Copies of this chain bind each other. A is one copy, B any other.
């Protein structure tokens, strides 16, 4: 069923610039099919087709574009179980998670279809003429948002469906009216081809221009960087490491015409534990925390890696609950051997830090499995070493003991921008929580109470973003309907005769 071909303009083309293979995440063995890397010429062709498609695609009727997104969702479902089994093999993620992620992916496409039908994203504003105004007549002014141009999307290792080939970045860019060129993540090329072919089929069957979509593999880093540098690309969507995001930002900033890069990078998602909540239900919070920390082997952008705990009688209950739960949790296969190796190293560095103490561990694993870990330190030590803020991508958490609210505030003042901050409170903690809120709003894109940030609703009211360096652009979200705004810009039309006005402005 898989061919390993690049998908460019309705065709499947063998890439000749090196090869990549999907690997079984658990065993490291090569999976069937070799994928040919894209050359500069392949990229040039995909970009040329995207640029040709752009004027046509961005002016397709909203209903036609909505039906196209729904068609993509249908075609993804029509792949059937082959998609799930291939993704399981390539990522090590379990069936239930991937089936859920497929549903989420389809849900995102359908949400943007309904946004298109609602039309609100166009922000149409009509300010009519007033020929009688003094001292000068008032012109007719009409505004709408238009698509920004072809978009480069980089597949994410940790969401092989919902943030890869037809994930949130692609869905919102296509909804905005932007052709998309996807650089497949090299950790799941087979999953990427399956979904890519579903999108390609939807393009053809919906009568969209052939350059609306392309899928490229990159045997190294050069093609991905050349994609961001290409003058026909006008925005970038990326979810991944901070180093990866910063590298793409640097390429974009060096272009003759700089473009926005929406990179979702790193976050340790602080969880603040208040004393009354700990006293009332410390153990239960600990148990729930262990579940959130280890979900998907801890490989979520919103994984709760930092706990800021106010000292008090309930903190031991929390630690006991978390420790007990963690100790029963099996090690889990990580997404790639490289991620597992980096996790083991970063976890070991934390464990070996002189100011850090091991609190509890999950069950031991083997090979590419990651073993959960919970560590602790105190606020003074945390403040003394900025490296304790570094994300450990995986199921490792660090508890920072804070003597009082003042010390907690000092820690907050030292934190970098985050995707989420969670607060665990009881009624008696509310006054202190309210005092912190203004600080928290400046630190994170989402603030939540008595829960954990893992589990990101696809909602009009969601912000999956946050101040730098959580993302490259804290004014944006990559999940929820506002994600479409990243790929739009406003144009004002003054005194255009009816015949020249774009349909939305008549």
Is A139 an interface residue when CB atoms closer than 8 A count as contact? yes
Q: Are B460 and A127 in contact (CB under 8 A)?
A: yes
Apart from A441-B491, A451-B495, A462-B492, 19 more pairs, CB < 8 Å: A55-B438, A127-B459, A127-B461, A139-B451, A141-B461, A143-B462, A146-B441, A257-B467, A258-B468, A430-B499, A433-B500, A446-B492, A446-B493, A447-B492, A447-B493, A449-B494, A475-B490, A477-B490, A482-B490
Q: How far is the CB of A97 from chain B (nearest CB, A)?
A: 12
Is A414 an interface residue when CB atoms closer than 8 A count as contact? no
Q: Which of B127, B148, B446, B459 lies in contact with A491, CB distance below 8 A? A: B446
Given that A475-B490, A491-B441 are contacting pairs, would A500 and B451 also be in contact in the complex, using a CB cutoff of 8 Å?
no
Q: Are A447 and B257 in contact (CB under 8 A)?
A: no
Is A474 an interface residue when CB atoms closer than 8 A count as contact? yes
Q: How far is the CB of A149 from chain B (nearest CB, A)?
A: 7
Q: Scoring A residues 190 to 221 as 1 if CB is less than 8 Å from chain B, else 0, what string do you get? A: 00000000000000000000000000000000
Is A142 an interface residue when CB atoms closer than 8 A count as contact? yes
Is A126 an interface residue when CB atoms closer than 8 A count as contact? yes
Q: Are A457 and B138 in contact (CB under 8 A)?
A: yes
Q: How far is the CB of A99 from chain B (nearest CB, A)?
A: 11
Q: Are B460 and A125 in contact (CB under 8 A)?
A: yes
Q: Size band of the A side of the interface?
A: 35 or more
Q: Measured between alpha carbons, how far is A451 from B455 in the docked complex, in Å?
A: 53
Q: Are B496 and A417 in contact (CB under 8 A)?
A: no
Inter-chain contacts of A434 with B (CB < 8 A) = 499-500
Q: How far is the CB of A140 from chain B (nearest CB, A)?
A: 9
Is A406 an interface residue when CB atoms closer than 8 A count as contact? no
Inter-chain contacts of A469 with B (CB < 8 A) = 257
Is A59 an interface residue when CB atoms closer than 8 A count as contact? yes
Given that A148-B475, A257-B417, A491-B441 are contacting pairs, would A500 and B463 also be in contact in the complex, using a CB cutoff of 8 Å?
no
Q: How far is the CB of A420 from chain B (nearest CB, A)?
A: 8
Q: Are A500 and B445 in contact (CB under 8 A)?
A: no
Instruction: Name A439-496 residues within 8 Å CB distance of B.
Output: 441-442, 444-451, 455, 457, 459-463, 465, 467-469, 472-475, 477, 480, 482, 488-496
Copies in the complex: 2
Q: Measured between alpha carbons, how far is A455 from B494 in the docked complex, in Å?
A: 11
Q: Which of A's residues lie within 8 Å of B, judged by CB? A: 55, 59, 125-127, 136, 138-139, 141-143, 146, 148-149, 253, 257-258, 260, 417, 430, 433-434, 437-438, 441-442, 444-451, 455, 457, 459-463, 465, 467-469, 472-475, 477, 480, 482, 488-497, 499-500
Q: Which of B445, B450, B490, B496 lies in contact with A490, CB distance below 8 A? A: B445
Q: Measured between alpha carbons, how far is A500 from B459 in the docked complex, in Å?
A: 21
Q: Are A500 and B125 in contact (CB under 8 A)?
A: no
Q: Are B459 and A141 in contact (CB under 8 A)?
A: yes
List the 8 shortest-distance A-B pairs measured between CB atoms, nearest first: A448-B494, A463-B492, A141-B461, A143-B461, A127-B461, A125-B461, A446-B492, A55-B438
Q: How far is the CB of A236 from chain B (nearest CB, A)?
A: 14
Inter-chain contacts of A149 with B (CB < 8 A) = 442
Inter-chain contacts of A55 with B (CB < 8 A) = 438
Given that A449-B497, A499-B430 are contacting pairs, would A475 and B489 also be in contact in the complex, using a CB cutoff of 8 Å?
yes
Inter-chain contacts of A450 with B (CB < 8 A) = 495
Q: Measured between alpha carbons, how far is A474 from B442 in the docked complex, in Å?
A: 25
